[in-house]
Structure 1
């Protein structure tokens, strides 16, 4: 598997398919395996699927900063390394915070923004407490958290096992800090300057999160919002076909 070394730390990534590049950004701790069901998109598009620093197979030497901005800059270096001048950026859940940071700091490198369950700020009771629980559990019992997340994301036993094993590789301190960074993230003011095409996908049953669709609808210039019925927040694994179809059609239109 290819790697990119940044300041003595290695980012593992997958680079599969050809066509319009799509950079896929995972939530805290989950690593690239959470996008396993999206790999069929490589029949039409080029997928860049990394493990962020300290998560999955990517290394962490300890002491280096763990911030949303740092994750964003690492991914910019990855795109430069691959000689990709711009890409569609796909962020799932808190991965959307990193995606939005890239849109704010490096808009020329972003062809389009795609978010599954994205949010600009954590400011409701459910999300705040979910993040606080993640901060504590990732640091103190990452084995339990790996199992809970794997079970909640899929009924497929093989994928569930892969998810659990991959998450358990993640550094608990990095995992916890990613949750903390997401909890403190707020781009409501800066994201209003983003003018590229945007696709937002939400589950109809994920009320604490899909409520942010109203903010994006009133703020972004080129935004398309899709609500998948009878679905929760865990769309890439639980509703992979619907997500893949929406992403494929959206990216095709960018051409």
Structure 2
């Protein structure tokens, strides 16, 4: 089936084909230029399908161009619909893409709903995949979100490896953004982590600003949690 025939059948029948062969012929020209008479673009119609099979088939395409084009759409509806899918495998497939551009585009969306939906996923592997990205831009974009809900959800993850991955980033901007959050609950959750590795990674940051912001916290509970760490390495770093 040619591109033009696929587009004509898609809008004349008001049905998006679910066959992987049909999805493979959604070339760059269709994604960029074709709009239905009602004004809805192809990605929106794909994601609005009632079955969860559609976004899974879309992300399973062999080329990395497909998810990039999906996130580059001008409307904020597209990433919101993608993250609202009921299955966790959809987001996992998105983050497993080989290019670092995909998670960056996801976090650069203008609405605060997108990172919130990302962190509300039930599986810890989703957030781990996000933080394992090779570029430092991804965690920075995550922490730069305007709502305090985002860093809180990040620290509330049940596994300690998630926070460790965050602090292991090569740039000092990431822990700074974490400590600059306006709510005291963020730092409390950070210090309440069960492993000493998390605090060691935080204190090993090369800039003095990180430690200054840590000690400038207003509540006495934070200082108590800091001093209650069991390892001598923490005290020496302080």
Give the shorter-chain TM-score range: 0.3 to 0.5
Ranked by relative contact order (alpha carbons within 8 Å, sequence separation 6 or more), the top structure is 1
- Judging by fraction of residues, say which structure has more strand: 1
The TM-score normalised by the length of structure 1 is 0.31
| Bigger radius of gyration | 2
The TM-score normalised by the length of structure 2 is 0.32
